[in-house]
Amino acid sequence: MSDSVKVAVLGASGYSGIELLRLLLRHPNAELVAVTSRTLAGKALSAEFPRFRGVGVADSLKFTNPDTETLKATGAEIAFLALPHGVSVEYAKGLLDAGIKVIDLSADFRLRSAELYKEFYDHEHPAPDLLSEAVYALPEVRADDIKKARLIACPGCYPTSILVPLIPLLKAGLLGDAPLSVSSMSGASGAGRKESVPLLFCEVQNSVRTYSVPKHRHLSEIGQELEIAAGHPVKLTFVPHLVPTHSGICTTIFASVKPGVTLDQVGEALQTFYAGQPFVRLLGANKSPDTKNVVGTNFVDVGWAYDARAGQLILMSVEDNIGKGASGQAVQNFNLVCGFEPTAGLMNI
Amino acid sequence: MSDSVKVAVLGASGYSGIELLRLLLRHPNAELVAVTSRTLAGKALSAEFPRFRGVGVADSLKFTNPDTETLKATGAEIAFLALPHGVSVEYAKGLLDAGIKVIDLSADFRLRSAELYKEFYDHEHPAPDLLSEAVYALPEVRADDIKKARLIACPGCYPTSILVPLIPLLKAGLLGDAPLSVSSMSGASGAGRKESVPLLFCEVQNSVRTYSVPKHRHLSEIGQELEIAAGHPVKLTFVPHLVPTHSGICTTIFASVKPGVTLDQVGEALQTFYAGQPFVRLLGANKSPDTKNVVGTNFVDVGWAYDARAGQLILMSVEDNIGKGASGQAVQNFNLVCGFEPTAGLMNI
Amino acid sequence: MSDSVKVAVLGASGYSGIELLRLLLRHPNAELVAVTSRTLAGKALSAEFPRFRGVGVADSLKFTNPDTETLKATGAEIAFLALPHGVSVEYAKGLLDAGIKVIDLSADFRLRSAELYKEFYDHEHPAPDLLSEAVYALPEVRADDIKKARLIACPGCYPTSILVPLIPLLKAGLLGDAPLSVSSMSGASGAGRKESVPLLFCEVQNSVRTYSVPKHRHLSEIGQELEIAAGHPVKLTFVPHLVPTHSGICTTIFASVKPGVTLDQVGEALQTFYAGQPFVRLLGANKSPDTKNVVGTNFVDVGWAYDARAGQLILMSVEDNIGKGASGQAVQNFNLVCGFEPTAGLMNI
Amino acid sequence: MSDSVKVAVLGASGYSGIELLRLLLRHPNAELVAVTSRTLAGKALSAEFPRFRGVGVADSLKFTNPDTETLKATGAEIAFLALPHGVSVEYAKGLLDAGIKVIDLSADFRLRSAELYKEFYDHEHPAPDLLSEAVYALPEVRADDIKKARLIACPGCYPTSILVPLIPLLKAGLLGDAPLSVSSMSGASGAGRKESVPLLFCEVQNSVRTYSVPKHRHLSEIGQELEIAAGHPVKLTFVPHLVPTHSGICTTIFASVKPGVTLDQVGEALQTFYAGQPFVRLLGANKSPDTKNVVGTNFVDVGWAYDARAGQLILMSVEDNIGKGASGQAVQNFNLVCGFEPTAGLMNI
């Protein structure tokens, strides 16, 4: 491919969409040629999002309707879908047929099984034939597949924070059979940019609360990927919490280890697996990651510790839920698909 | 006792101390006769804390040095110690010898074993003889002992949120042998009111982080009390998190249950144990508590759920770390010691 | 009246309504007999607002429709209207006709002139005959009228913070003729509890912004009351700001003074005017009030300073916008109307 | 100059210093060769600030002592001083003598008069001879002088937000003689990164408060620059407020206009003055700027409105206090001094 690729963003008015715009407006190898939103059609990008005023094409580019024909006419080669699940799938097939590669941020193409999708998302999958083609695109795990794909399913925010520390340990066979316990805390942007009383400032500021207990939808993709890594099903309890911050996920995992496994072995497995990866920062044993160090970035920071009294391993990870947990990872996949520098447009700090 | 008791607060300049003042200034049965602080001696209460201006004795009462003689002269019958651990113990004996009952908010008298104290607090306990007399004062668990005690050790903030949901289930023999996994999130007031860069607004606002992993000091009292409830040692991994809110603790516990135990049995055990208790609010199965409902109060709200896929019980509790987790509980104990209404001065909402 | 009065709250689901419930559930002389909300009818108070669980009648009292007949049947003697402007007026007449006194928190009865109402609220006043009867109920200014009134119009949040420091100085004739400049900052609860993207946590947390410039609706009542105090029209520019906090208004006023007027005279005028008033706390010259000292209370704190370089007086006030700026003041008026202690139910700190 | 310049940052541990590091680590034309901090000497940049881990030289560059000799040896051509006032001046002369240009973020070289400095900073200026050489470096106002300077005094955060809207209007002769009234709100980073109880999260989160009333130190430079623009002294009252946000300043200015001056003329004067300036974004008449659109950027957004009822002009501006108000502006000046693209390294959004 050339050193600049024309891209479109569908569904640009949510927090992931806005973050995508932020990254793509300044990406050295991306030319933003289309942004779509039915409700904003005709309006300039920076008129809706004044933060972008004066930056790149933000003053000149106008929102359009998300019609494939319109997008095709812009010359877009790659489309980012920052749409709700159930909506992405409506556009994906048309775009692919029109020769436009799809990088989807929704849950629509993350699962390999249409039945699992139905169990967790409460309706039949509308395009089950596309599931086998889609790649669950965790770049540190599946780069080769991503490079060749035309339908990219970006992992969810919680799953990324959970899979990054666990996959290397499962692959290395270090973990025991006891169920994994996962406690995650997310900033409010993870709940979306929608009219909602429970997400008002006054409802969130003094609030820490669990939700979607005990069966959050992300469990489906987490289970799928852990099973692939481990070679067998993995039991996991997941409890997400909403905490009063804009962005950032902090995940704490309690795990058993096989007899004799040491904390050094855990560290080595992680270091081996992530050697050379620019966006996974391994902090070391007994180090606590902090969301404040990753908010606004594509980094995921990981620490680990061993509770000798109870005999449990503790894994700790942080990321930006709309960065590495969504739009940053989408751009990371874009770089892979296009053969650009892995860090192109992503070394924001 | 009469319907009004003279009380003193030692160490009134921290967040627990301020909360104690807030509660005691308006307690219908408490007469605040002394507040101590070496650094503030001579200053009026409301001059230091303008929030209290115009309320009760706040404009007239002046800080004094914390000398037993001075306190004795005020006629104080009960002293609240809102002092750091290691400092409380210095005052307790003198106060007790002077006939003043002690309600201690520090960790100095929570452990029955001086050795355990040394292991977790890094120095010899200065008054091990007092440990056997002190009562670990969780009012819903040990009211009878509290009523008779002259040395009250108020439980820590995290321990209260952990013990309240666990003790009834351990007593009822419902939990399995797997290690318990506990993830707690606390507001910044739990870290104290001290000059500290990591606690500045700008360091906390966008930050979610673990700390004191894997061996937080509160594990000592948690282990002690769980063992008493269960009749045998209980393994527990505890990971505290600092979240960007003033006050409030949200605790999530992952537990195994004995074969055949149902979620209904869990609910019944809790309801039986806390019947008639005004400050433990059992929300029910699959209900998520929210710190926003308890901040500023003496309530602890509890929910529970069962993850059938992984076979784990999830317990969720919230409280105000400086309310039920510290000063509210201290006043609740005060009411018990003095024979006042259990809710006197505590039904703030 | 007796020592307990039956009260109803209409429109209890907004922030002022919730604050009213908080105050009335524990008011020693109020018996809450009705709460209304069309959308919540049939639901228990504490089912909708779990914070109130276990407190007073919160578990037993159910929301009803706001029909006068229903309210009459409860025996309510006084109705608090925490309804939007334009809606309060629909209920007021019926309630008054049924012999129920009305304490209105909306803007519907604050203005004496129906024309001024139309200019600022964009529609004809539906009950102009009631305007002459209603009392603009700033308790520190108009206590005698309030005691005798059956239709109480509680001042707005911004107006209270502006009128409290200005009225005594205008009455004393100390201010010059230059236009007053007022900059106010309000927490997000002032914008209401409604489905709105601009009020989401993620939109407010990192945001400080002006709004309703240059003609905020509250200018109408501010102008009316300043003119009454001064005896002539008073020019005033008002710029409100939304700041990222739950509650609290901080108001800063820039004013000219008449030649020769000293800062001492300013302080004396304030002290004379507010002597014996429990809720106006005069901090003194060169003292900065802080919203943190008044949030959750019915206090308004006032400081003042003189900028000798530019020759301008600076007045600074803080209050809780839903406390003294709305519901606290409503309860303060309730105490006046019923002849209760002025501070009954209001000394929360 | 070449297309890359070696730079040093002195005093890198405060919020402005950290922001400078953030900008310079990724500036396409800056090579960061030295960072100094007595307390952190020997430590790697990213060890102290984990956010920077893996970015540029952050893992390899170590803090050193701020000795001129050491800095000279690194080849640094330009030194940024992010030091407290009174400390910058100690280093500036030595650096200049060593041929290193100085971009100072402190107040030490902002004033032309040593007497004014003494009046506002309470001690004699230690190097008054340098005051005449230093350039008060508001790039939109004084670019030509900045390009030639070797001692750059970056304007303060509040002054930048106040001078940007006012200077064009004073130069155009549109404003009246009445004193200007300025109300500014700043995030807590403006107060510095220092051990301080009043700046703790728990002290700031629920707090809005004025401070330094009526004579904030920034009045000295504001007055100096307004007088230069107007050609005569300008009276101005300034009230700063601390609001609970990390960064961002919102400034609201109340001004009189000369008879007959229209809002259109105000807009035209601003547009003419800032034509072609990339970092001043003029939002238009009756538009409210929002700090959320500028936080993390070098933009200053400006709106204006006219209150016809009181006859006053309202000017509204927002900026990031550590961006355009400090470190962003310092880098903007660096670009000017070195002849780089004006926006190099500064188009972060």
CB D162, CB D297: distance < 8 Å? no
Please, which residues 268-307 of chain B have a Cβ atom closer than 8 Å to chain A? Answer: 286, 288-292, 295, 303, 305-307
**Could you tell me whether strands A30-36 and A63-64 are parallel, antiparallel, or unpaired per DSSP bridges?**
parallel
Q: Please compute the mean of the pLDDT values over residues B159-169 and round it to a whole number.
A: 98
Whether the link from the prior residue into D214 is cis, omega within 30° of 0, is: yes
Q: What is the pLDDT of residues B277-306, one digit of tens each?
A: 999 999 999 999 999 999 999 999 999 999
Query: Other C-beta atoms within 10 Å of B147: how many?
Result: 15
Is the pLDDT confidence value at B172 over 70?
yes
Q: What is the pLDDT of residues A73-104, one digit of tens each?
A: 999 999 999 999 999 999 999 999 999 999 99
Q: What is the pLDDT of residues A140-190, one digit of tens each?
A: 999 999 999 999 999 999 999 999 999 999 999 999 999 999 999 999 999
- Residues in chain D, pLDDT under 70: 1-2
C198 touches chain A (CB under 8 A): no
Whether the link from the prior residue into C214 is cis, omega within 30° of 0, is: yes
Chain D residues closer than 8 Å to A290 by CB: 50
Q: What is the pLDDT of residues C259-304, one digit of tens each?
A: 999 999 999 999 999 999 999 999 999 999 999 999 999 999 999 9
Partner-chain residue, chosen from B236, B241, B248, that has the shortest CB–CB distance to A250: B241
Residue A2: predicted pLDDT = 65
How far apart CA B231 and CA B171 sit, in angstroms, is 8
Domains of chain C in start order, with CATH, are 5-133 (3.40.50.720), 158-321 (3.30.360.10)
Best residue in C51, C205, C277, C295 for a mutation probing chain B (most B CBs within 10 Å): C51
The residues of C assigned a catalytic role are: 157
Nearest CA in chain A to C202: A246
**Residue D195 to residue B193, Cβ atoms within 8 A:** no
**Residue A293 to residue D50, Cβ atoms within 8 A:** yes
Subunits adjacent to chain A (3 or more Cβ pairs under 8 Å): B, C, D
Chain B residues closer than 8 Å to C298 by CB: none
Average confidence score pLDDT of chain C: 97
Query: Other C-beta atoms within 10 Å of B133: how many?
Result: 13
Chain C residues closer than 8 Å to D219 by CB: 309
* Gyration radius of chain D's alpha carbons: 20
Residue C38: predicted pLDDT = 87
Q: Please write down the HEC assignment for all residues of chain A.
A: CCCCEEEEEECCCCHHHHHHHHHHHCCCCEEEEEEECCCCCCCEHHHHCHHHCCCHHHHCCEEECCCHHHHHHCCCCEEEECCCCCCHHHHHHHHHHCCCEEEECCCCCCCCCHHHHHHHHCCCCCCHHHCCCCEECCHHHHHHHHHHCCEEECCCHHHHHHHHHHHHHHHCCCECCCCEEEEEEECHHHHCCCCCHHHEHHHHCCCCEECCCCCCCHHHHHHHHHHHHHCCCCCEEEEEEECCCCCCEEEEEEECECCCCCHHHHHHHHHHHCCCCCCEEEEEECCCCEHHHCCCCCCEEEEEEEECCCCEEEEEEEECCCHHHHHHHHHHHHHHHHCCCCCCCCCCC
Partner-chain residue, chosen from B201, B246, B247, that has the shortest CB–CB distance to D188: B201
Residue C20: predicted pLDDT = 98
Query: Other C-beta atoms within 10 Å of B42: how many?
Result: 10
Nearest CA in chain A to B185: A208
Is the pLDDT confidence value at C139 over 90?
yes
From C119's Cα to the closest Cα of chain B, the distance in A is 39
Q: Please compute the mean of the pLDDT values over residues B193-205 and round it to a whole number.
A: 96
Best residue in D206, D300, D304 for a mutation probing chain C (most C CBs within 10 Å): D206
From D190's Cα to the closest Cα of chain C, the distance in A is 15
| ipTM value for the complex | 0.97
In this prediction, what percent of chain B has a pLDDT beyond 90? 97
From A274's Cα to the closest Cα of chain D, the distance in A is 13
From B120's Cα to the closest Cα of chain A, the distance in A is 13
- Element (DSSP H or E) covering residue B303: strand B300-307
Subunits adjacent to chain D (3 or more Cβ pairs under 8 Å): A, B, C
**Residue D235 to residue C206, Cβ atoms within 8 A:** no
Is the pLDDT confidence value at A1 over 70?
no
Predicted model pTM: 0.98
Chain A residues closer than 8 Å to D50 by CB: 283, 290, 293, 301
Q: What is the pLDDT of residues A123-137, one digit of tens each?
A: 999 999 999 999 999
Q: Is C203 helix (H, G, I), strand (E, B) or coil?
A: helix
pLDDT band at A62 (very low <50, low <70, confident <90, very high): very high
Residue B88: predicted pLDDT = 96
Chain A residues closer than 8 Å to C15 by CB: 202
CB pairs under 8 A between B and C: 48
Residue A38: predicted pLDDT = 87
The residues of B assigned a catalytic role are: 157
Sheet architecture: strand order including C312-319: C209-210, C236-242, C180-186, C249-255, C312-319, C300-307, C280-285
**Residue B349 to residue C294, Cβ atoms within 8 A:** no
Is the pLDDT confidence value at C1 over 60?
no
Q: Return the closest-CA partner of residue C208 out of C239, C175, C169.
A: C239
Phi, psi of D341, deg, nearest 5: -55, 135
As to burial, measured by CB atoms within 10 angstroms (0-12 exposed, 13-18 middle, 19+ buried), residue C259 is exposed
**Residue C51 to residue B292, Cβ atoms within 8 A:** yes
Please, which residues 1-30 of chain D have a Cβ atom closer than 8 Å to chain A? Answer: 22, 25-26
Chain A residues closer than 8 Å to C209 by CB: none
Average confidence score pLDDT of chain A: 97
In this prediction, what percent of chain A has a pLDDT beyond 90? 97
How far apart CA A256 and CA B312 sit, in angstroms, is 14
C126 touches chain B (CB under 8 A): no
Q: Please compute the mean of the pLDDT values over residues C59-88 and round it to a whole number.
A: 95
**Could you tell me whether strands D180-186 and D249-255 are parallel, antiparallel, or unpaired per DSSP bridges?**
antiparallel
User: Can you spell out the DSSP letters for B114-168?
Assistant: HHHHHHHHSS--S-HHHHTT-EE--HHHHHHHHHH-SEEEPPPHHHHHHHHHHHH
Residue B26: predicted pLDDT = 95
Best residue in B197, B204, B213 for a mutation probing chain A (most A CBs within 10 Å): B213
How far apart CA A329 and CA A89 sit, in angstroms, is 19
**Residue C246 to residue A195, Cβ atoms within 8 A:** no
Q: Return the closest-CA partner of residue B103 out of B342, B335, B345.
A: B335
From D142's Cα to the closest Cα of chain A, the distance in A is 22
Residue C2: predicted pLDDT = 65
